[in-house]
Amino acid sequence: MPRSRANPNTRRRLLEEGVAAFLDRGFHGTGIQEVVERVQVPKGSFYNYFPSKEEFGAEAIRFYSESLLERLDQAEADSPDPVSALRTFFESLMEDFQQANYTGGCLMANLGGELEKSDPCRQALAEAFHALRDRFETMLRQAQKEGLVRTDLEATQLADLLIDSWEGAVIRMKVERSLEPLRRCLAWLLDGCFRP
Amino acid sequence: MPRSRANPNTRRRLLEEGVAAFLDRGFHGTGIQEVVERVQVPKGSFYNYFPSKEEFGAEAIRFYSESLLERLDQAEADSPDPVSALRTFFESLMEDFQQANYTGGCLMANLGGELEKSDPCRQALAEAFHALRDRFETMLRQAQKEGLVRTDLEATQLADLLIDSWEGAVIRMKVERSLEPLRRCLAWLLDGCFRP
């Protein structure tokens, strides 16, 4: 019998290891060899799943983006209103950052810093930022309807401000090794500027 | 006569080339060899100036930070008030970004994404962020005194929000290949949230 060429479980494990390695050592600092070793598949079979390291990077960005959106789904299911859901979402990210000792941070920001010249990766990053911004916008618009967020600015503006500030604060979290920049960012937006 | 071991001009050229290379290819994607070739000095003499690539990275961060602060000095000298000076400063950065076809971006954000595990670089990055934040804070406090900026939030809070949002927007500029995220960020802060 021929060996199965595309095991969805192996593909997922490769993406999980890819995300972890890219967060830890960046795209250029990560070799395919170390990823396949961690997943315990032969290097040749990697190319059954991904045509190149660049395409693997783009898929890892999509995988990471989907996991963020799933985390937002969960936070919404667990929270009484959209502002609480945003807090729950960011709190869960901060727990991860603390567990990683303030290294890693956000794959979208890191690879955005590193991969702007790779068209497949840049495209995947642009889509990931848009997907997160659109989701924040939907939540903030609902929060406006519920009287929880100011209505004199468009929800899309608030969503852009939230995502930009958060990404900048994540970088400062990494260099300061502290959650303080993130807590400050959320306090000044969710508890400050965004209030009605 | 012995060869001069530390020519300040060579040191500066190495740092200039280092900043350009790190912006272009990241820290891990840059080799010392290519930097010394561009400056046309032998590789061995590089180590007369910098004990290691890591220390070179930290010095390049300091050099970049100083150049940003000098650019702010110039913007202040050329502008009638602190808010205009901030606009002039950011406009000059946007011109550079456009000339570089939206690649590169901000060295502090890029290396912050890449170098959180190098103590000398992380320390240099933290100092660079603090220096820029402190300068923004001084300018925004003066703008508050001149009635140009709201006074119900501390200048330090506004400065943090400005730097975090700008850095996040720079990443999005790179992935979207457009100045739009930066223009939007400035419009919503300097022309929006920050107004008295």
User: Tens of pLDDT along B153-187?
Assistant: 999 999 999 999 999 999 999 999 999 999 999 99
CA distances from A71 to A196, B73, B87, B112 (A): 27, 44, 37, 25
Tell whether the model's pLDDT for residue B5 goes beyond 70.
no
Return the residue matching tokens 């300018």. B139
> Cβ A26–B113 below 8 Å, yes or no?
yes
> Cβ A171–B108 below 8 Å, yes or no?
yes
Q: How far is A7 from chain B (nearest CA, A)?
A: 31
Task: Write down the pLDDT at residue B142.
Answer: 98
- Share the mean pLDDT of chain B: 93
Question: What are A147-166's pLDDT values in tens digits?
Answer: 999 999 999 999 999 999 99
Task: Write down the pLDDT at residue A155.
Answer: 96
ipTM computed for the complex: 0.93
Q: How far is A55 from chain B (nearest CA, A)?
A: 16
Are the C-beta atoms of B168 and A109 separated by less than 8 Å?
yes
Taking contacts as CB-CB distances below 8 angstroms, the residues of chain B near A153 are 188, 192
CA distances from A188 to A29, B74, B156, B193 (A): 35, 30, 11, 11
Q: For A131-138, what is the mean pLDDT?
A: 98
- Interface list for B 98-127 with A (CB within 8 A): 102-103, 105, 108-110, 112-114, 116-117, 122, 125-126
Q: For B93-111, what is the mean pLDDT?
A: 94
Q: Given pLDDT bands bounded at 50, 70 and 90, which one contains residue B3? A: very low
* CA dist., res. A152 & res. A41, Å (int): 55
Q: Considering only the beta carbons, identify the residue of A105, A165, A177 that sits closest to B165.
A: A165
Are the C-beta atoms of B152 and B143 separated by less than 8 Å?
no
Most B CBs within 10 A among A157, A164, A177, hence the mutation to make, goes to: A164
Q: Given pLDDT bands bounded at 50, 70 and 90, which one contains residue B4? A: low
State which residue of chain A sits closest to B174, comparing Cα positions: A116
Query: Which residues, 6 or more positions from A150, have their beta carbon under 8 angstroms from its beta carbon?
Result: A144, A158, A193, A194, A195, A196
* CA dist., res. A110 & res. B3, Å (int): 42
* CA dist., res. B57 & res. B53, Å (int): 6
Task: Write down the pLDDT at residue A1.
Answer: 40
Are the C-beta atoms of B170 and B105 separated by less than 8 Å?
yes
> Cβ B113–A126 below 8 Å, yes or no?
no
Is residue B30 within 8 angstroms of chain A, CB to CB? no
Is residue A75 within 8 angstroms of chain B, CB to CB? no
pTM above 0.90?
yes
* CA dist., res. B171 & res. B150, Å (int): 28
Question: What are B123-144's pLDDT values in tens digits?
Answer: 999 999 999 999 999 999 999 9
> Cβ A114–B117 below 8 Å, yes or no?
no
Residue B15 class from Cβ within 10 Å (0-12 exposed, 13-18 middle, 19+ buried)? buried
Tell whether the model's pLDDT for residue A77 goes beyond 80.
yes
